[in-house]
Amino acid sequence: MKQISQSAQFVKQFKTEVIPFMKQLYSQFKKNKKSKVTAAAVLFSIALCFVWIQLSGAEVYRLNIEGKEAGYVTDQSLVQAAVDNVIADYKEKGMELTIDENTLLCSPTDLKKKDVNPLDLDALEKLVVASDAFKAKGFAINVDGRTLAAVATEQSANQILEDIKNHYLTDGSEIVSVSFKEDVAVTQSAVRIAEFKSAEEAEALLLAGENAPVVYTVQDGDTLWDIASANHVSTEELQAANPGFDPNKLKIGQQLNLVAIKPYITVLTKERITAAEQIDFDTVYEETNTLNKGEIKVKTAGVYGSQLVTSEVTKENGTAIETKVLEATVTAEPQAQVALKGTKAGTYLASRGGGREVTVSGSGSDIVAYAKSFLGTPYVHGGSSPKGFDCSGFTQYVYSHFGGSLPRTTTGQYGTGTYVEKSQLKPGDLVFFSSSSRISHVGIYVGGGSFIHSPQSGESVKVSSFSTTTLKYCGAVRASNQ
């Protein structure tokens, strides 16, 4: 600590007040030698008195840190003790501190000890650490020119960045490339000690990201639950972000405030992943007049094939944004399922799609609402999680939320539940589409002639209309207890 403390202020006051006064007084006595001696003696006495008053008169000192009043001390040596303790503490951590003494200033006051609540040693140490008084050589992690974290060594900073990259890699994959989308750099600089973080703290901060304001415009058919689920917030959080908002009076075009997580760093990865996948079997239909029209009965169960698929997957922070199949090696050929399709005229009797019952705990509207919470999730070949879905992976995941156990493939799902005519569709029904002679796509009926599905590579989960889709509709099934 620099002693403007009392001594610096004393010197300043002595120069600006005492010396001019002494010169003026001396000039009045300089006419004779005796007067000069008397004047010198008087002036020396004045100086001694001033020094004694300045050094012994103050009981309380005002502490200023960075030009701002921080509190009072009754013993200046306590401030120096706090400084010494901080230096020693960081030296044990391998950090040599530099101090700007001008940021810590102690000056005498006319106050008495009984008039103040003085700072103790612990409080002084905390104030010193939080100030700009101390800096140390550190290494800052900068993202697009913005310093987000600082650590003690360059090795630690670089290891943090490597750990963040590894956080988003798939175990066992072949790494093609890993990079940051932003301009990320490690730079050496003098860092305030209050800004230093441990490696664990710095990594957690960079992975957590920050809240960023988002404005959502209400669309036709939106509900409060739809908006909250699609943006991964609760309805309570949505209402809190919009004071005075009446959730029962949503209007098309109305703008709502949302809060989304904005990553500090975006990790771009490209990996080659080899995984075993099922091959759907085709379903071949044989017409029979032994079954009523609309009834389907499995004659010979199909057998799934298998293949090893090598794909090149591009991800942003672990979420696939593009998948390219590089190679597929069939390890077992699928065997077609043979199903009997009724042609007998008469009263329609709904039958199981393939003889296997599927039961769900929610209503059709519940299923649709949950499915809509994944709008915008990217299509990923073989995907069956919120990180990415293919068509049957999406329907399987949604139904499993309500206790419904569906087969993994599209054709397998078509062979379950109760067959439903198109004219009798209800929200929550599974709707199927074909290419050529085989079932190739599945979605969930949402009502109004539309369905929600995960379409194909390069697209995301969305709602489409029967009237505009190029897919060929071929049937629907319904789970029980909807």
* Average confidence (pLDDT) over 183-211: 88
* Average confidence (pLDDT) over 269-285: 85
| Secondary structure (3-state) at 250 | coil
pLDDT digits (tens, 9 = 90+) for 301-353: 778 889 999 999 999 888 788 888 899 999 999 988 888 877 876 543 333 34
Q: Which long-range contacts (CB under 8 A, 24 or more apart) does 206-209 make?
A: 206/141, 206/148, 206/149, 206/160, 206/164, 206/264, 206/265, 207/164, 207/167, 208/261, 208/264, 209/261, 209/262, 209/263, 209/264
306 and 164, same structural domain?
no
* Average confidence (pLDDT) over 419-423: 87
* CATH number of the structural domain spanning residue 308: 3.90.1720.10
- DSSP strand pairing (305-316 vs 267-279): antiparallel
Q: Which of 106, 381, 453, 474 is catalytic?
A: 453
Torsion of CA 10, 11, 12, 14, to 10 degrees: 80
- Place 40 in a pLDDT band, splitting at 50, 70 and 90: low
DSSP for residue 8: I
Percent of the chain with pLDDT over 90: 31
393 and 273, same structural domain?
yes
86 and 42, same structural domain?
yes
Lowest mean pLDDT among 82-86, 191-195, 239-243, 293-297: 293-297
**C-alpha to C-alpha distance for 391 and 381, rounded to whole angstroms:** 9
199 and 56, same structural domain?
no
**435 pLDDT higher than 80:** no
**C-alpha to C-alpha distance for 324 and 327, rounded to whole angstroms:** 9
**C-alpha to C-alpha distance for 89 and 80, rounded to whole angstroms:** 14
List, in sequence order, every residue forming a beta bridge with 258; answer none if it has no partner.
214
Q: CB of 129 within 8 A of CB of 196?
A: no
325 and 177, same structural domain?
no
**Tell me, what's the pLDDT at 272?**
94
**Tell me, what's the pLDDT at 350?**
34
40 contact partners, CB below 8 Å, separation of at least 6 = 26
* CATH number of the structural domain spanning residue 251: 3.10.350.10
Q: Which residue has the higher pLDDT, 369 or 302?
A: 369
**Tell me, what's the pLDDT at 48?**
47
Q: Evaluate the CA torsion angle 206, 211, 213, 216 in order and state its sign.
A: positive
Active site residue 381: no
**Tell me, what's the pLDDT at 408?**
87
Active site residue 453: yes
314 and 302, same structural domain?
yes
Q: Where does a domain end: 69, 103, 133?
A: 133
DSSP state string for 9-44? HHHHHIIIIIHHHHHHHHHTTTTSHHHHHHHHHHHH
Percent of the chain with pLDDT over 70: 82
155 and 276, same structural domain?
no
- Place 133 in a pLDDT band, splitting at 50, 70 and 90: confident
pLDDT digits (tens, 9 = 90+) for 449-471: 899 999 988 888 999 988 888 88
**C-alpha to C-alpha distance for 444 and 454, rounded to whole angstroms:** 10
Q: Where does a domain end: 133, 158, 181?
A: 133
- DSSP strand pairing (319-332 vs 68-73): unpaired
219 and 201, same structural domain?
no
Distance of CA 88 to the CA centre of its chain: 37
Averaged pLDDT score across all residues of the chain: 81
**C-alpha to C-alpha distance for 448 and 370, rounded to whole angstroms:** 18
Q: Where does a domain end: 227, 262, 297?
A: 262
**Tell me, what's the pLDDT at 352?**
37
**4 pLDDT higher than 70:** no
Q: CB of 301 within 8 A of CB of 341?
A: no
54 and 126, same structural domain?
yes
407: phi then psi, degrees, rounded to nearest 5:
-60, 160
Lowest mean pLDDT among 46-50, 93-97, 460-464: 46-50
pLDDT digits (tens, 9 = 90+) for 105-116: 889 999 999 999
The tokens for 153 are: 């060594």
E-assigned strand segments in 66-157: 68-73, 97-99, 104-108, 134-143, 146-151
**91 pLDDT higher than 80:** yes
**Tell me, what's the pLDDT at 279?**
81
**69 pLDDT higher than 50:** yes
300 and 425, same structural domain?
yes
Q: Which domain holds residue 49?
A: 4-133
Closest to 81 (Cα-Cα) out of 128, 114, 134, 145: 128
**Tell me, what's the pLDDT at 260?**
66
**Tell me, what's the pLDDT at 246?**
74
Q: Which residue has the higher pLDDT, 445 or 409?
A: 445
**186 pLDDT higher than 90:** yes
Q: Which of 167, 391, 401, 474 is catalytic?
A: 391
Q: Which of 167, 232, 401, 441 is catalytic?
A: 441
**Highest mean pLDDT out of 30-39, 95-104, 269-278:** 269-278
What's the total number of domains in the chain? 4
- Place 248 in a pLDDT band, splitting at 50, 70 and 90: low
**C-alpha to C-alpha distance for 375 and 362, rounded to whole angstroms:** 20
**Highest mean pLDDT out of 14-18, 124-128, 287-291, 320-324:** 124-128
* Average confidence (pLDDT) over 23-42: 54
* Average confidence (pLDDT) over 210-238: 75
376 and 458, same structural domain?
yes
**Tell me, what's the pLDDT at 294?**
58
107: phi then psi, degrees, rounded to nearest 5:
-130, 145
448 and 326, same structural domain?
yes
**Tell me, what's the pLDDT at 347?**
40
**Tell me, what's the pLDDT at 349?**
35
* Average confidence (pLDDT) over 287-310: 81
296: phi then psi, degrees, rounded to nearest 5:
-130, 135
Q: CB of 249 within 8 A of CB of 293?
A: no
* DSSP H helix total and E strand total for the chain: 12, 24
